Structure 1
Amino acid sequence: MVRSPKLTVPKTILERSHDAIAILLLVLSFSYFIINWADLPQTVAIHFNGSGEADGWGSKTVLLLLPILLLVIFIGLSLLRKIPHQFNYTAVITDQNALHHYSNAIILLSWVKLEIVLIFSYLQWAVIQNALGESSGIGLWQLPAAFLILLGTILYYVMKLRK
């Protein structure tokens, strides 16, 4: 097995911007959740069908899972950034091309992390809005659109890495 070179890749302005936006969204999501906790009914929608309509119900304490899971994913993806030499690449990594491949993979990771934070923040907001009676369902097009954006980002960077 060929070992990829270990390099320290400095954070770019784009990555710092992504992290700042993601952290702001995390703080806003947690704050929104805490502010609305007392107003939430004891039973809330916790599952939505393909049309965005509520079809599963549970205790409002289940809503704690979204912000906690989001924080775990954010921290995990942030830590993953430190080991680009252990990622799988479509090309053989050499001393000459390592920085290029690592940088692109780290930027992809940064975009994916931001997009996941956006998706989870939206989900949490939509579920709380639904529980408070401010809306019905979570919207039909938002989640497929978010999925397509996430998939498009991944495909773009995978194609970029293949060049």
Structure 2
Amino acid sequence: METEKPKLNIPKPGFAKAFDVLTVALFAACLVYLLLHWNRLPDQIPAHFGANGEVDRWGSKFELFILPAIAIFLWIGLWVLEKYPHLYNYINLRPDNVEIQYRYGMVFMNVTKNMSTLLMVFIMWQLTDIALERTESLNMPIFIGILAVLFISIGYYFYRMMKL
């Protein structure tokens, strides 16, 4: 489209709203979990993991607040982008496919936003459990599974948008 991209009012799909609620609820639950166990956490907690899931750096327990800060920053930033699909760069935007492209773009941002946040929730939960000696290492199958869902969904939406 050579002219300015139209601004359309695309309603958010119900599953995207439900995904937002689920993600925010899990994020809040993880923060509550962290705060409930705060006084029992040792001064040094896992801060980094090797490819095998084993802790390879320890840091201050206050570093646990970096992950929620990153999650909040990502969630808000992608939430704003989700609301304005006309601002995205599209490869093959045409008058006959603009609405579906915007819809795919919104869903893409929603999935990316929520999966990124869920990844942070998982890591916060795992760091807390390792510090409390409830587990010994990062659960790599779940970690890789979350990353796989994130990257597969990115690839899927990119493919769908290209196909249009």
Q: Is TM more than 0.5 here?
A: yes
TM-score by length of 1: 0.93
Question: What's the CA shift string for 1:1-43, capped at 9, x where partnerless?
Answer: 7421111211111111111111111211111111111111001
SS in 1 for 2:111: helix
Aligned to 1:148: 148
Aligned to 1:29: 30
Once residues 151 and 56 of structure 1 are traced to their aligned partners in structure 2, the CA distance between those partners, rounded to angstroms, is 26
TM-score by length of 2: 0.92
Matched, 1:67 2:54: no
Once residues 65 and 42 of structure 2 are traced to their aligned partners in structure 1, the CA distance between those partners, rounded to angstroms, is 14
Question: In percent, how many aligned pairs have the same letter?
Answer: 27
SS in 1 for 2:100: helix
CA contact (8 A) 1:51 1:139 kept: no
Aligned to 1:114: 114
In the TM superposition, residue 119 of structure 1 has moved relative to its aligned partner by 1.1
Alignment: residue pair count: 162
SS in 2 for 1:141: helix
CA contact (8 A) 2:27 2:118 kept: no
Deviating runs (4+, > 6 A) in structure 1? Answer: none
- Gaps (5+ residues) in structure 2? none
Question: What's the CA shift string for 1:55-109, capped at 9, x where partnerless?
Answer: 1011100111111211111111111112211111221343x32111000111111
CA contact (8 A) 2:104 2:161 kept: yes
SS in 1 for 2:58: strand
When the two chains are superposed, the root-mean-square deviation of aligned CA atoms in Å is 1.4
- Gaps (5+ residues) in structure 1? none
